[in-house]
Structure 1
Amino acid sequence: MSRRWLSAVVGSLLALLLVPIAQAADTNLGDLSLSSSNWAEDSGNFPGIWDLTQGDMTISFTYDGNGLVDASGAHAWAELGVRSLHSGGFNFNPNSRYTYNTTTFDLRAEGSSTDVGDVTVSSDETNIYVKFVVNSGSNCTIARTRVQAGSSVSGFPRTWWGDAVPSRFNHQTIHSPQVIEYVYTISRSEVGDGDVYVAANAQIYCDTQRNPRSRIVRTCIDAWAGGVPFSRIGDTRYAIYDSSATRVDGSGVWFASDYDWTAGTFGPDPAGSPSLDIDDKFTISRFGGHAEGDYNLPQTPPDPWNNTHFWFDRDDVDQWQAAMWGMAPGVSYNTNGIYHVVITLHATSATAGTAYMTVNGASQGFYSNGWKDAEPEIYPAGMTFTGDMQQLQVFYGLLGYGATHSVTFSDITIGQ
């Protein structure tokens, strides 16, 4: 090996090592301005689905609560976080999610018990999904599929003796080129809720060979899914799928804002007498109306109301309060009602995760043995939560009464 060639190889390797590794780009969702009065909810969600099992996720934003009204008889709460995709359309306190059955039926040749594939039926709150697939490694392909679905078979196209007539089914596709799988999406408005009757028929071509010396024969098979016959004469069949939803507690986790109920709490301190007072309160929440009491990481605090960096002061404090542990201007006081929030999420399974939050860069914590002027024993503190970690959507909302309240979330950014 020549020195010149070796130098070229080493140089190429060094060049590769010095190439920066591409990082996943953050997704900026922009700004939001929300307004609410008379218990009218202003809420929604961003498009897009996030899979927390693919990596940790951060939600960061700047929250401006200066549009909240602190008058007697008026109050409001704001939220921003993640919820499961199938949460019944709730974008404020999405406390539960809905799960749906997935059932697989054998796809068998008409007139025999030969299994050539499967038909899998699944659903969500808006659609029924019917998926055809041939057996792996079977040398079979799908040339045509037909589906009829409904709340009963009474309206299905049938012969006078009762067999199904697939050529008249509502959903039909000729596959050219032929495929090994195909999915139909059928609106729930067509089939209703509860039991759904599904007639799924496929024309399948398979390559068969009796022995290594014989020629390959292309065979056409007419196949049906399910085991319920339409009649006693023919061999057309249908399947029955339970499309009902099961409600499950736990849909996600979110930033939840609150503030002191004292009328005029946002007003300035008396001139020349600054003092620490509680104005804004922020928690992460996994169930509407729950707050400090749900924190359980790294352990459950013995007294969840003995905490730090849950309450914030919009104006000044005195010199002794300013010197206490965790106190800093623009962080815990002199906030002017504006806060930078970062929520960090981690999936521990497909249905469970952990959440931590910082406000103005400060982590939250709890004291185990009474308050003291020092870092709390449980710090930083967070909570576990449940939901569909593989299908999460970012949602937001504001709910208020007694006045017209407004808040803004700006520079909403998702990192993963």
Structure 2
Amino acid sequence: MAAVVVLMLAVAGVSSAATQTYPNRTLSGGYQAGHFNDVWDLTAGDMTLSFTYNANGLSDAAGGHAWAELGVRSLAWGGDFNPGGSGTVYTYPTITVALLAGQSMDVGDVIVTNDGTNVYVTYTLDSGWCMTESHLAVSTSLSGIPQTKTHNPIPGQFAYGNYHDPCATSDTFTIPLVDIGAFPSSTLYIAAHAKVSELATGGLCSAPGMTAYGPLDHYEGVAGAWGTAGSAVATWVHPSWPSLAGAAWISTAGLVENPDPDSWRRFSGSFEVPGIPLTGGATVATSDNAEEFYVNGALVGSDGEVQGPFADNQEWNTLLTYPFTPVTGANTYDFIVRNYSWPGGVYANPTGLLFCLDYSYLTGRTETAWGDGTRFTSKGNWAMYITYEPTATSVNGSGVWLATDYDWTPGTFGPDPVGFPSLDLDDKLILQRQGGQGEGAYNLPGVPPAPGNNHRIWWDRDGVDPWQNPATANTGGIYQVVITLHATGATTGTAYMNIRGLDQGFEVDGNWNTIELTPAGMTFTGDMEHLVVFYGLYGYGATHSVTFSGITVTQ
């Protein structure tokens, strides 16, 4: 006979799941215990521990008794049966310091986090700045950061670094803690260096007064014969056309000059890039009906059929982005816009162009930057390092588990007399966070006023008398159990247990047909970020055995 047991360890916010299956464990004799080597982080996601518990090898002979357990405990302390004691949990905070250029100018942030496996250092640059180099040193000692004899750091010798072309606005380094010999309690010293450049932006949007050509009754390229230049004007805007902040719909006339045949128009302009241009310039544009976009005479992109036969797919309804790279100094841009032939008049077949163009460039100003912290030297070089320290929390307790017990009456597991079922409470299943505790340790949703007045803690393996709840009888020693746990912090959690589809609870008002304090559970403590699955059996006075099979953890 067997019992299926499921423990769920839950932290909200994790949607994906991974499953680990462990080999069966049969425990026998007077004492046997152990644990599986995988380490689980309850704060990282929902976690379900399921197993089948076979209790029928327990002996109810006079002078003998035994207890079985399976649950989770802290990796660093507690032991594999009735885990307890105390330990220290070290947690690293997420810290953010300014990235300082020229000693005092805040140009961004350095963000440091630690998940117990890796330390992550992220550079983020403020608007108006980017970096061409980033260098990082992380060590468990200050002397582990490369320095000269006079204690000036040497970024070129740092273990981690990147060169950025184009200039970057962010960078993240992932450093395994084992690579730097760090322990959970280690203080880390971090030198975050960057070479930063001032970044400027420019741009323009479609507006009346821009240079305009046409309309023509045929297509001409950007260098074609477009005739005399004129000025664009604000055109009539169709109610279905999209809008773009800062931009106006423009054309060569307020109402299209001749709406029925195909017609082409060209809109031109220029802009100046006073520094070193960066990639990533872009134009967001649309037209009625189709457009080609050129920068410095080269085609960048198009939408719709500007040349040849057309299919009217209402391209005017979509704003497209055309990335381009400008040059230092003067730049030109051109749009060639086609209005598809369509009968119906000026309001049925209008035309126009809508766009905004932007670009970025380096002004030529560069600075050395460091993550704000403590100076390596009091004079001269102002380079700094960050001290990254864990927080130590003392914890009493090591986890939570399913603990089993049974009636101390000899022969309790024997069958009831045929035809005469009796109130025979054989098996006891409770949550436990400390060896030796009983029902009185439950404290969720509140402390039971009379712990002995409980529901679904004691179970009968065989028949049921007329006054007994049949839901807790005829179990045959088989118990489907679900224990739900939730990490409320790095060292605290909550636990609830459901048996054979029924929540546990406590009687409050004396009416045993109802359950007032339910679902019942408890808080527990331990290192929630480093938990292992453990199992154990302790007995005396006879040979006892239990089997845990189908042990599976899902997170």
TM-score, length basis structure 2: 0.55
> Is 1:160 the counterpart of 2:149 in the alignment?
yes
> Is 1:278 the counterpart of 2:447 in the alignment?
no
Q: 2:36 aligns with which of 44, 67, 71?
A: 44
- Give the share of equivalent positions with the same residue, in percent: 32
Structure 1 residues without counterparts, runs of 5 or longer = 1-23
Alignment deviations for residues 122-145 of structure 1 (CA, whole Å, 9 cap, x no partner): 446x65614122145455247433
Secondary structure of residue in 1 paired with 2:535: strand
- How far 1:241 sits from its partner (Å)? 2.5
What's the counterpart of residue 173 of structure 2?
182
Letter in structure 2 aligned against 1:112 = Q
* 1:7-406 → structure 2 map (5 Å cutoff): 30=21, 33-34=24-25, 35=27, 39-44=31-36, 61-70=51-60, 72=63, 75-80=66-71, 88=76, 92=80, 98-102=89-93, 104=95, 106-109=97-100, 111-123=102-114, 127=117, 129-135=119-125, 137=127, 139-141=129-131, 143-150=133-140, 152-169=141-158, 171-174=159-162, 179-187=170-178, 190-191=181-182, 194=185, 196-209=187-200, 214-215=274-275, 216-217=361-362, 220-231=366-377, 232-243=379-390, 245-248=392-395, 253-262=400-409, 265-269=412-416, 274-314=421-461, 316-317=462-463, 321-328=464-471, 332-344=472-484, 355-368=495-508, 374-378=512-516, 380-385=518-523, 395-402=533-540, 403=543, 405-406=545-546
Secondary structure of residue in 2 paired with 1:240: strand
What's the counterpart of residue 410 of structure 1?
550
Distance change (3 Å), C-alpha of 1:337 and 1:246: same
Distance change (3 Å), C-alpha of 1:244 and 1:393: closer
Tell me if structure 1 keeps the 8 A contact 2:397–2:433: yes
Tell me if structure 2 keeps the 8 A contact 1:110–1:235: no
Letter in structure 1 aligned against 2:402 = F
Distance change (3 Å), C-alpha of 1:102 and 1:375: same
Secondary structure of residue in 2 paired with 1:342: strand
Tell me if structure 1 keeps the 8 A contact 2:396–2:526: no
Distance (whole Å) between structure 2 residues aligned to residue 175 and residue 89 of structure 1: 45
Distance (whole Å) between structure 2 residues aligned to residue 187 and residue 207 of structure 1: 37
- How far 1:389 sits from its partner (Å)? 12
Distance change (3 Å), C-alpha of 1:355 and 1:156: closer
Distance (whole Å) between structure 2 residues aligned to residue 136 and residue 290 of structure 1: 56
Matched residues, number: 375
C-alpha root-mean-square deviation of aligned residues, in Å?
4.4
- How far 1:208 sits from its partner (Å)? 2.0
Distance change (3 Å), C-alpha of 1:121 and 1:238: same
The structure number with the bigger radius of gyration is: 2
Distance (whole Å) between structure 1 residues aligned to residue 517 and residue 188 of structure 2: 55
More contact order relative to length (CA 8 Å, sep ≥ 6): 1
Distance (whole Å) between structure 2 residues aligned to residue 286 and residue 100 of structure 1: 23
Tell me if structure 1 keeps the 8 A contact 2:50–2:553: yes
Letter in structure 2 aligned against 1:335 = T
Distance (whole Å) between structure 2 residues aligned to residue 254 and residue 299 of structure 1: 20
Alignment deviations for residues 189-210 of structure 1 (CA, whole Å, 9 cap, x no partner): 7245656251323334444239
Tell me if structure 2 keeps the 8 A contact 1:109–1:116: yes
- How far 1:229 sits from its partner (Å)? 2.0
Secondary structure of residue in 2 paired with 1:167: helix
Structure 2 residues without counterparts, runs of 5 or longer = 1-14, 204-271, 276-360
Distance (whole Å) between structure 1 residues aligned to residue 365 and residue 399 of structure 2: 51
Alignment deviations for residues 348-390 of structure 1 (CA, whole Å, 9 cap, x no partner): 89987654432222332322255x6x32442533125366999
Question: Greater CA deviation, 58-67 or 356-365?
Answer: 58-67
Distance (whole Å) between structure 2 residues aligned to residue 160 and residue 27 of structure 1: 50
Secondary structure of residue in 1 paired with 2:476: coil
Tell me if structure 2 keeps the 8 A contact 1:141–1:180: no
Alignment deviations for residues 277-309 of structure 1 (CA, whole Å, 9 cap, x no partner): 332211233445433113334443211112121
Distance (whole Å) between structure 1 residues aligned to residue 148 and residue 195 of structure 2: 23
Alignment deviations for residues 134-170 of structure 1 (CA, whole Å, 9 cap, x no partner): 14545524743321412x324543212221223334x
Distance (whole Å) between structure 2 residues aligned to residue 193 and residue 27 of structure 1: 25
TM-score, length basis structure 1: 0.70
Alignment deviations for residues 216-240 of structure 1 (CA, whole Å, 9 cap, x no partner): 3265543333432222332222222
Tell me if structure 2 keeps the 8 A contact 1:250–1:385: no
